[in-house]
Structures are given as C-alpha cells and as structure tokens.
Structure 1
Amino acid sequence: MADPNLSEYVKTSLAQGKPKEEIYKELLGQGWTIEVIQESFNSIGTEQEKEDTSKKTISIIVTIGAIFVGAGIFSFIAANWLEMTKPIKIGIILISMGVSYGAGWYLKEKSELQKTGDALILLGSIIYGAGIFLVAQMFNIRANWPDGFILWMIGMIAMAFAVESYPLFYLAIPLGIIALVGHPFGIFTGFGYNSFLLTSSFLLLVSTIITFVTGWIIRKRMSPELKEFY
C-alpha cells in the first residue's frame, strides 16, 4: 500500500508542474526506493481514473437531462401551438433560449457547477435550433430544409467558441452531416438560375469553410499528445 504522505507529496508536485523525473530524483535523494515511489504514482493514477470516470458519468447524466428538459418544453409548446399568437410563440422561444444560455453561462463561469452550466448551454442550443424551424413554419418561409440545420450548426459553433463548450462542437458534427446528406442534388444542377438554390449553395459553401476553419483552430489548440492520437 502506498504511503499516504508520499502520495500527497507526489500529487502536489505534479499539480505544481514538476516533471516525473525531477520528483523521482528528489524522493530518491530523500531515501525512498524506486518501488515505493512508483507505487505512489500508480495510486495517484488510479484515483485520477476514478475521478475522470465520475466526471464523465455526471456529464452524460446532465446532458441527457438537458435533452429531456428540451423535449418537455417543446412538447408543451406543440400541445398549445395552435392557440398561441405569433408574438407569444416567438417570445417563448427567445425567453427560453436566453434563460438557458444566461443560466448556463453563469453556472459555468461564476460557480463550480460547470457540467450543469454546459448542460444548460446545450439546452439553449437545442432551443435555438428548434426555433429556426418553428419560425420558418410560422412565417411560411420558403427554404431548403437542410439550410435550417446549417444555420443551427453555424450558431452552435459560434456559441461553442464563445463559451468554450466542447459538447456543442460534438453536437454540431451530426447537424452538419444531416445538412450535407439532406441537400438535394438540385442545388448543383440548378445553380445560378434559381435564387432559392443559389442561397442553399451559398450556405453550403459557408458552412464548409466554417467547418474547416473550426477544425483547424481546435487542432491548433490541442496538446501534442492529442494531435498524435487524432
């Protein structure tokens, strides 16, 4: 069993940014054996793995919770949709989105409830995406339906950069795939003759550029270890 005091010293040294080699030299100079030192490092690694697993579990739970809350909100709206006037509908969308983003940002930046904050920001992004389609339906906007997913993806990427939330980047990926697969081939064959198709083509081009730039920025921010992995 690892010595608790030694393990605490190793943990503190690692937190201060000391390399393992330096810690080994210090402890060997103090009379500790290599086996005991290695045992302390192993115990810290086990604790870290447990902590990471716990964080991942919490993240998954709050994310699923945010999705269910979002589904509940829109189930309520859908049930009363016909009775609502347009200003009320738009107001509900904007207020729900604003409250989710605001509360999420506050919890993420001003408190220690970072996972809950990320979940609320994710909920706000789901409301934002649903709002795009609801507004288009309300005002009978003629558009190519994958364009809505492109706008949703672009807005989500912008918010992900603004609040540094990786779950939003992850959700933007399937949105982009849906938009790409769903776009009819007519946007290429009819390019230049129809303003509707021209708009779709322009959005597709913009989303492609944004996706590549986003990937490049994320990769630039990665540590060398992650770059080798990916």
Structure 2
Amino acid sequence: MSHSRRTIEQLLKQGALPVEHTDTAAKHLGIYPNKQSWLAFFDKALLIIGAVALALALVFFIAYNWIEMGKLGKFALVEGALVINIAAYVLLAFKRKSKLIQQLLLLIASVITGSLLALFGQVYQTGADTWQLFFGWAVLITPWVMIARFPMLWLLWLGLINAALLQYISAAPFFMSATPYLLRIGALAIVNTLMFILWWRFLESDTLTDKRHLAVAHLHWSTYVVGALSTYFITHLAILYVISDINALTAIFTLLSWVGWCVLIYWRFHQRSVNVLMLTFLCFSIIVVALFWAGKFVLNDFDAGGLFTLALLLIGMSSYAVAWLRKLANLEQQPLDDKNARTSLTDQGGKS
C-alpha cells in the first residue's frame, strides 16, 4: 500500500500523472478499499470474534451454572465441545477447505483444553500449583500450535509459558532464598527475547525499496507484540538496580544483558534492514534506562535541580530520537525513480 502511494506521489511530482487521473490510478493500485475488500475484512473479523465468543461462552456458561450442574454434566459439556471441534477440524483438513476456519477451530480447542484442566482441578481438588495448570495447558496444546501456525494461537501459547514461569518462580522452594523479583524479570526477559528472535526468523520479510538498496523489514503484527514484551522485560531488568535492592555485580550483569539486546536490535533493524517501529522500541528503552540511572545520581529527595536536569535530558534524548526516526522513515519511504514508478503503475494497473 505505501509502495503504491509513493509511486503515485512520484508520478505527480514529475508531472507524468495528471491530477484528474489520480483517483483512477489509486483504484488500479488498490489504495482505496473496494467493496470486495471491505466484505473480506468484515467476514474475517466477524469470524474471529464469533469463534472467540463461542469459546468464552462455554466457560461462562459452566461458571454461571456451576451449582446446578453435576460433575458428569460439566465434563460431558466440555469434552463434547472439544470432540466436536477436533472432528470439525479433521473434516475440513481432510477436504483441504477453509484454512482460517481450521485455525480458529484449533484456537477454540486450545481454550477448551484449558477449561477442561481447570474444571478437573476444581471438581477433584487436586491441589496442584497454578504454574502446573498453565504449563500443562501449554504442553497439551503445543501440537495444535505447531499444526495451526496461527499467530493468535502462538500468542496464547507464549502467554501460558510466561504465566507458568512467573508462577513457578514465585512458588518453587528453590527460589525462596534468592531474589524472586530479579529471577522473575530476568527469566521473562530471556524467554521473551528468545521468542522474539524465533518470531522474526520465521515471519520476517526483507524487501529492497529503492535504488539505494535500502532493505526494509516487514514484520507480522504478532512480531511487534512479542517485541514489545521483550522490550518491556529487558528494560525492566536494566533498571532493577535503581528500583530494588540488588548487588552491584548483578547490576553490571543486567546492564550488559540490556546492552547486548540493544546491539542486537540495532544490528537487525538498522544495519541489516530498517524497521522504524522496532527502532522506536529501542529508543524508548534507551531513554527509560538513561533517565532511571541518571535519576539515581542526580536526584536528592526530588530536589528541583535534579528534576530540571532529568527534564532537560528527557527533552534532548526524545528530540534526537524523533529526528533520527523521522530520517529513517523518510529513507524507508524514498520514492522510486521515474522509470520504476511508471513500470509499477503500468504493471499493477494491468493486473487489476
């Protein structure tokens, strides 16, 4: 879409495209959504919303009628719904139809699996720890996650892993003598960063956008979600010395880990290929860490001089980051030359 807009902008600047023909060119290049694209969007959106609503309706129905329903009725309802979902998936997969519906059926089955585990624990009072529920849930749905290759299902699985890890560190006796807060943040930072690396490796797409061969990384929306998680936890880890009681050696290790993450993000999304949003995450992390560490040394009972220094630091770093990101965005949107622009308009117009 942005490539098509840049093509039209370049042709308008060069006078190769009359202004009165701009709307026609935009329609040919697919800039304006037509009736079919809107129908496809609403069809997909309502299908996803309906699938999630059905899964949640089953959970709330059992919760609301918990007292009136017996054990057999509860298990029959949940297991019956699970069997129906799996059977519908097998049927569609065998006929090789409706890939999205197949993925949504596996998503519903994954949610129902968690409901079944929670139901079993409540009915029979197994006394299992909370982390065992999340971890068992993640393990059981792993085959479906691999088969479906559905970003929403991957995010559900990652959320379960995070929840299980968080609960395990809080409950395991082995960690009681250590610093649970540090271990939780450190473990979540490592897990989410590793997942982020795997995410972009499987879902990334680098394309050359202009004659300077500037490679732009086009990432799936779910990659940005995992990237935001990685950014939050690694940033939290870097400022842990400032907001909690950890020793200096541990603080050096956390800072080195954060610096390594910054170098990785800079290399991958600036040196190898450009992605402005991921570099925005990087700038945000650097600004937050710099402010927290500066505040530790310049603030003295929140005196005016220290706050003024932090305000100037924030303004300076933010202004530089915005200018740098805008420069990268302009390079990313560098228009094509006249020959490429004409060729693009002709080719795409002919295809439509």
The change in CA–CA distance for 1:132 and 1:49 in structure 2 (over 3 A counts) is farther
Secondary structure of the 1:75 match is helix
TM-score of the aligned structures, taking structure 1 as reference length: 0.58
Q: Within 5 A, what are the aligned runs for 1:114-193?
A: 114-183=99-168, 185-187=170-172, 188-189=174-175
Greater C-alpha radius of gyration: 2
| Cα deviation digits, residues 126-157 of structure 1 (max 9, x gap) | 10111111112222212211321222233334
Partner residue of 1:219 out of 161, 184, 201: 201
Aligned residue in 2 for 1:71: 56
Q: Within 5 A, what are the aligned runs for 1:40-55?
A: 43-46=28-31, 55=40
Identity of aligned residues (%): 17
1:71 Cα deviation after fit? 2.5
Q: Which ranges of structure 2 fall in alignment gaps of 5 or more residues? A: 1-15, 178-186, 207-216, 220-272, 279-352
Q: Within 5 A, what are the aligned runs for 1:6-17?
A: none
Give the stretch that moved more between structures: 111-120 or 154-163: 111-120
1:209 Cα deviation after fit? 7.5
Conservation of the 8 A alpha-carbon contact between 2:86 and 2:106: yes
Give the whole-Å Cα distance in 1 for the aligned partners of 2:143 and 2:58: 24
- Higher relative contact order by CA 8 Å / sep ≥ 6: 1 or 2? 2
Q: Which amino acid aligns with 2:70?
A: M
Give the whole-Å Cα distance in 2 for the aligned partners of 1:60 and 1:106: 23
The change in CA–CA distance for 1:166 and 1:220 in structure 2 (over 3 A counts) is closer
1:100 Cα deviation after fit? 1.3
Conservation of the 8 A alpha-carbon contact between 1:150 and 1:176: yes
Aligned residue in 2 for 1:99: 84
The change in CA–CA distance for 1:45 and 1:210 in structure 2 (over 3 A counts) is same
The change in CA–CA distance for 1:118 and 1:186 in structure 2 (over 3 A counts) is closer
Q: Which amino acid aligns with 2:123?
A: M
Secondary structure of the 1:185 match is helix
The change in CA–CA distance for 1:226 and 1:54 in structure 2 (over 3 A counts) is farther
Give the whole-Å Cα distance in 1 for the aligned partners of 2:27 and 2:111: 41
Matched, 1:84 2:66: no
1:122 Cα deviation after fit? 1.5
Conservation of the 8 A alpha-carbon contact between 2:71 and 2:123: no
The change in CA–CA distance for 1:217 and 1:64 in structure 2 (over 3 A counts) is closer
Give the whole-Å Cα distance in 2 for the aligned partners of 1:53 and 1:127: 31
Aligned residue in 2 for 1:9: none
Give the whole-Å Cα distance in 2 for the aligned partners of 1:99 and 1:218: 34
User: When the two structures are aligned, how many residues end up with a matched partner?
Assistant: 182
| Cα deviation digits, residues 5-34 of structure 1 (max 9, x gap) | xxxxxxxxxxxxxxxxxxxxxxxxxxxxx7
Please give the root-mean-square deviation of Cα atoms over the aligned residues, in Å: 4.0
Conservation of the 8 A alpha-carbon contact between 1:108 and 1:118: no
